Structure 1
Amino acid sequence: MNNTARKQLNISQNQQSNTVQTQQFKTGPIMAALFVAGFVGLFSETALNIALGDLSQIFSVSATTIGWLATGYFLTLGILVPVTGILMQKFTTRQMFLTSISLSLIGTLIAAVAPVFSLLLVARVIQAAGLAIALPLTQNVIFTIFPPNKRGAAMGVMGLVMLAGPALGPTIAGLILDTLSWHWIFWVTVPFLLFSLFFGIKYLPNVNEVRKVSIDAVSVILSTIGFGGVVYGFSVSGDAGWTSASVLGSIIIGFAALILFAIRQTKMEMPMLNLRAFKTPLFVIGVISSFITFFNMLSMLVILPMYMQMSLLIAAFTTGLVLLPGSLLNCILAPTIGRLFDKYGPKAVITPGTILVAIGYVFYSQFGTDTALWMIVVTHIVMMLGIGAVLASVQTNTLNSLPKQYYPDGIAITQTIQQVAGAIGIAVIVSLLSAKQNSYLATTANDLPQATAAGSSLVFTIGLVLAVVNVVLSLFMKKPSSH
């Protein structure tokens, strides 16, 4: 090695050392700002679900209409998340963060004082727009400021946030509804958003490379129609029925628009969403595994409380308490799981996780009207440990398989897939549960608890089949070669 090369190497090592020192100094507050914002958004995603029955009476609207407070949230995420890939290249990290927090705060404040249903629905859409920016932005910052051997631990904590938010939402909201009015489901999150705003302004640097990219209007329209149509179609299928013209029409139009969107992206020099990421086999395996994980997880978080309340006849707040140990244990172990991923690689963490999820579904599928609560607690702990091991680790490995310049696109693709999987999962599984309930009630005695148990057993068996597919996929996962 000549002297010039040695000098350049020393300069490079010094720069890396300085960068690491800076990151060690700022990483905690940066992640605190982003994780708190993400937690509040994901908490808001499910917290209001437990109050929908009360809100339907308060605002004098039908159950189908009030359901739009949940559907509208998912729909907004499905439409906006794909656009964030290009926005993260066009605007600075701080600009994106401040926009995200501002939208979340404005939406939350409007929701907290909303006197009519229409204003509450608008507030939910604004809240979801804030989360649609926050989730991809957090992943992008993690993959920019952490080296590959530290990303697992950071993504483990993000996995904690992504699980704890939706899981704790109904429990905390149930407690709030028992003691205060529904408005406090929103007021209680305001201090956390202000904390996130303060830490973000003080500590969050601009970590992304801003490029002069133009936003292609046709791509945005096709993406909106595509993802929006698919999510909308599946979301309303439970009420309208799978054979209704509006359901089939929106799903067919949605898929057609997505095909046109994909074709357009492959022919553009600067695509809105760079689909070349799909040329990486590890990325494709990760995306499929991620879809199954979110499909199963979010539908399970809806079906399990329904089963407990309708089959076992226990109160909403008790339901939340039964599910709390699994959620809390997952929160405690999430950083450790991330560190194990960094140390031993994906297969050592993801494969055991997928096996635990499959075992959980084996027990879930056997539940009936006389299942003991302790059995549900233990099974849920096994399930949440499995999901905790799979969720963040699959995302980390999926994105690690891409070159750095594809991170914004890879993040936008994976986040979109997750939101769409959640929306489709909830719609499909709830529809199947209802269909099984109705067929059971039509052929046997009018026994709703037994009918719900039969429906739950069916959907948990479907979850088991998907979980086994994930076990097989995990065997093909490996640590990506460094780019």
Structure 2
Amino acid sequence: MAALLVAGFVGLFSETALNIALGELSQIFGVDATTIQWLATGYFLTLGILVPVTGILMQKFTTRQMFMASLFFSIIGTVLASVAPVFSVLLTARVIQAAGLAIILPLTQNVIFTIFPPNKRGGAMGVMGLVILAGPAFGPTLAGMILDTLSWHWIFWITIPFLLFSLIFGYFYIPNVNETRQVSIDILSVVLSTIGFGGVVYGVSVGGDHGWTSTTVFGTIIVGLIALILFAIRQTKMENPMLNLKAFKYPLFVLGLAMNMITFLNMLSMLVVLPMYMQMALLVSAFATGLIMLPGSLLNCVFAPIIGRLFDKYGPRAVITPGTILVVIGYGLYGMYGTETALWIMVVTHIVMMLGIGMVLASVQTNTLNALPKQFYPDGIAITQTSQQVAGAIGIAVMVSLFSAKQNGYLTDVANDLPAAAASGSSLVFKISLILAIVNVVLSLFMKKPK
């Protein structure tokens, strides 16, 4: 588990760590803001395309083969990024890095659900929840510290020892826990899946730059949705589908999937919009922004295993519903803040928010997969992992677009006051997130332990 979780942490850390350096990198490589954004968009796009395919790869190849492939991609991608002389090389490296994460995340969940009995899974998934939250949350903080003292290359160099640890530990200790079987990879399904998930993620990712009504954005999303419909129809007709959609016959799985998507959409968009609010409205530096967000992330790491054990002992609703209520309180407070908010209030609010997300995230994922029979675990994991990456990409793209539109509207119609405009934009985003968080509270009331 240590080998798997360390590799997963590094991949998720890399997902957000570079975001804080995008402005500096656009100047270094001489590219515009839209182009440099591809370092984040390309990462999401690769995950959206590859995660569905890992569902069938986990049935075709052994646990050790999948693990070694993941570490191979992660190390090659990280080393290449560390020495990237031009933008195109750095973008290629990001895609290779994302390929490693696309394998390790579903693989870790599959191992947990294979080696832990149902009454222990909450604790194990609690630790994985720690990794899922800590990676993206610590990314901007640690990257800010690195940029203040070293060059951007060290955002990548610093992770290589951890990947080597994971590789060595995994080589000696990871057994083959999954049952492999002779499954053929249907090329048409892979093509439809790639066009479908890739089209939707690409369309929403560039929507903010090109405008949501532009032919490129609208056309790409429509083509993606049509491909997804054709992909789903093909899976139902096949004897051995690439992704078994029979998982959707289980109501608790569908309920958990909806809650998981809302949580990821809100969380990843918050991790982008909240630093923008603090830096533009409260005029806080990038490094100080990271420090403000640090206590919530640290407390989450401390409580994640405890939350997992409470889930095992008292069941899903006892943990998930209070967590969704804390998230609602967090967004309610964020929505009211302006340009004069004290920094200690931001720290306290972020602690409340992160504790709430920590109570919801791993517990929902555990209960969602517990609702499925064992043979559907690889498919269920592929569906949940893909949906949360797509939801995250949609959340970031849509919320940042709304933030910019509201901010520009304020500057044009009200006053030429950038801090107040930024506060107005973030307030709108947090109020929309608040509505989605309330939906999650309602959904959590229907959550129960699968028989």
Tell me the TM-score range normalised by the shorter chain.
over 0.9
Q: Is 2:78 the partner of 1:108? A: yes
Residue pairs, 1:222-301, within 5 angstroms: 222-301=192-271
Give deviations 1:385-422, integer Å, cap 9, x for gaps: 00000000000000000000000000000000010010
Matches of 2:420 and 2:63 in 1, distance apart? 52
Give deviations 1:238-277, integer Å, cap 9, x for gaps: 1101011110010000001000000100111100000000
Q: Which amino acid aligns with 2:230?
A: L
Matches of 1:35 and 1:127 in 2, distance apart? 16
Q: Is 2:112 the partner of 1:142? A: yes
Structure 1 residue aligned with 2:307: 337
Q: Is 2:358 the partner of 1:388? A: yes
Q: Is 2:371 the partner of 1:401? A: yes
Residue pairs, 1:304-319, within 5 angstroms: 304-319=274-289
Secondary structure at 2:336 match in 1: coil
Residue pairs, 1:426-465, within 5 angstroms: 426-465=396-435
Q: Which amino acid aligns with 1:313?
A: L
Q: Which amino acid aligns with 1:452?
A: A
Matches of 2:428 and 2:374 in 1, distance apart? 43
Structure 1 residue aligned with 2:320: 350
Q: Which amino acid aligns with 1:151?
A: R
Matches of 2:412 and 2:28 in 1, distance apart? 33
Q: Is 2:39 the partner of 1:69? A: yes
Q: Is 2:66 the partner of 1:96? A: yes
Q: Is 2:133 the partner of 1:133? A: no
Q: Is 2:222 the partner of 1:219? A: no
Q: 1:190: Cα distance to partner?
A: 0.2
Structure 2 residue aligned with 1:161: 131
Give deviations 1:160-189, integer Å, cap 9, x for gaps: 000000000010011111111110000000
Secondary structure at 2:278 match in 1: helix
Residue pairs, 1:35-74, within 5 angstroms: 35-74=5-44
Structure 2 residue aligned with 1:16: none
Secondary structure at 1:365 match in 2: helix
The structure with the largest alpha-carbon Rg is 1
Secondary structure at 1:212 match in 2: coil
Structure 2 residue aligned with 1:192: 162
Matches of 1:456 and 1:118 in 2, distance apart? 32
Matches of 1:168 and 1:220 in 2, distance apart? 34
Q: Runs of 4+ in structure 1 displaced over 3 angstroms?
A: none
2:175 aligned residue (193, 205, 229): 205
Matches of 2:337 and 2:220 in 1, distance apart? 36
Q: Which amino acid aligns with 2:63?
A: T
Q: Is 2:334 the partner of 1:364? A: yes
2:49 aligned residue (57, 62, 79): 79
Q: Which amino acid aligns with 2:294?
A: L
Q: 1:439: Cα distance to partner?
A: 1.0
Matches of 1:355 and 1:63 in 2, distance apart? 37
Unaligned runs of 5+ in 1: 1-30
Q: 1:442: Cα distance to partner?
A: 1.1
Matches of 2:307 and 2:264 in 1, distance apart? 18
Give deviations 1:219-247, integer Å, cap 9, x for gaps: 00000000000000000011101011110
Unaligned runs of 5+ in 2: none
Matches of 2:67 and 2:138 in 1, distance apart? 24
Q: 1:445: Cα distance to partner?
A: 1.5
Matches of 1:314 and 1:35 in 2, distance apart? 33
Structure 2 residue aligned with 1:467: 437
Structure 2 residue aligned with 1:10: none
Scaled by the length of structure 1, the TM-score of the pair is: 0.93
Q: Which amino acid aligns with 2:165?
A: F
Q: 1:438: Cα distance to partner?
A: 1.1
**Paired residues, what number?**
451
Matches of 2:230 and 2:109 in 1, distance apart? 28
Q: Is 2:394 the partner of 1:424? A: yes
Scaled by the length of structure 2, the TM-score of the pair is: 1.00
Q: Which amino acid aligns with 1:201?
A: Y
Name the Cα RMSD after superposition: 0.4
Q: Which amino acid aligns with 2:117?
A: P
Secondary structure at 2:31 match in 1: coil
Q: Which amino acid aligns with 2:429?
A: V
Give deviations 1:287-332, integer Å, cap 9, x for gaps: 0000000000000010000000000001000000000000000000
Secondary structure at 1:238 match in 2: helix
Secondary structure at 1:363 match in 2: helix
Matches of 2:407 and 2:149 in 1, distance apart? 33
Q: Is 2:292 the partner of 1:322? A: yes
Q: Which amino acid aligns with 1:194?
A: L
Q: 1:209: Cα distance to partner?
A: 0.5
Q: 1:444: Cα distance to partner?
A: 1.4
Matches of 2:215 and 2:181 in 1, distance apart? 43
Structure 1 residue aligned with 2:90: 120
Matches of 2:45 and 2:418 in 1, distance apart? 31
Secondary structure at 1:250 match in 2: helix
Q: Which amino acid aligns with 1:186?
A: F
Matches of 2:276 and 2:392 in 1, distance apart? 17
Structure 2 residue aligned with 1:17: none
Structure 2 residue aligned with 1:476: 446
Structure 2 residue aligned with 1:412: 382
Matches of 2:227 and 2:336 in 1, distance apart? 41
Q: Is 2:140 the partner of 1:170? A: yes
Q: Which amino acid aligns with 2:338?
A: G
Structure 2 residue aligned with 1:375: 345
